[in-house]
């Protein structure tokens, strides 16, 4: 099976948002950088953008921020920084000067990035029932009937007033 980089590397709108947007047209480095930052190949992000960008909130003055928030949403899901770590992790060269050398603060992460993730979570439909039942989606100890998936999108749950109930909600990282 050929490696990912042995195929032609596609151009992408997301290269400019990587932490290392090379100016010398080194698409191989940029392609790998997108993979390291988001956990997804460029082709996957392009597919998701083409299919689901119509549901994202468009900013009138800065339309390019919609693409940037989309990219950073996948960076957030992949790296899962705390709100205190977000200024160090969630930034792009496109917004570096605007943000005066720091990344997005927790207010923007809550208002813009989480809104993008929630918009995507409401419409993304890429896992189909017949795909879940494939033979290679199971483990040896549970060869049939059990399929697992991991989702790291944030879901906010208010804390119950009774301490006994709140102990059931705490899941250490």
Radius of gyration of the chain (CA): 19
Rounded mean pLDDT, 1-8: 53
Average pLDDT of the chain is: 77
C-beta of residue 113 within 8 angstroms of C-beta of residue 104: yes
Q: What is the pLDDT of residues 24-52, one digit of tens each?
A: 566 778 888 888 999 898 999 999 999 99
Exposure of 37 by Cβ count < 10 A (0-12 exposed, 13-18 middle, 19+ buried)?
buried
Which candidate, 139, 142, 19, places its Cα nearest to that of 91?
Answer: 19
pLDDT at res. 1:
42
Please state whether the predicted TM-score (pTM) of the whole model is above 0.75. no
| Cα separation, 42 vs 34, whole angstroms | 7
């Amino acid at each position: 099976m050929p490696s990912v980089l042995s195929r032609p590397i596609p151009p992408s709108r997301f290269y400019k948002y990587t932490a290392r947007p090379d100016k010398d047209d080194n698409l191989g480095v940029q392609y790998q950088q997108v993979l390291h930052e988001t956990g997804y190949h460029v082709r996957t992000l392009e597919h998701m953008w083409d299919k689901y960008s119509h549901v994202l909130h468009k900013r009138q003055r800065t339309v390019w921020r919609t693409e940037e928030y989309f990219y950073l949403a996948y960076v957030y899901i992949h790296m899962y920084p705390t709100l205190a770590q977000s200024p160090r992790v969630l930034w792009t060269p496109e917004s570096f000067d605007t943000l005066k050398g720091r990344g997005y603060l927790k207010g923007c992460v809550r208002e813009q990035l989480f809104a993008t993730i929630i918009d995507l979570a409401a419409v993304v439909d890429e896992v189909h029932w017949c795909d879940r039942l494939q033979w290679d989606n199971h483990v040896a100890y549970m060869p049939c009937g059990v399929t697992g998936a991991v989702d790291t999108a944030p879901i906010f749950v208010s804390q119950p007033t009774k301490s006994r109930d709140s102990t059931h909600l705490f899941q250490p990282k």
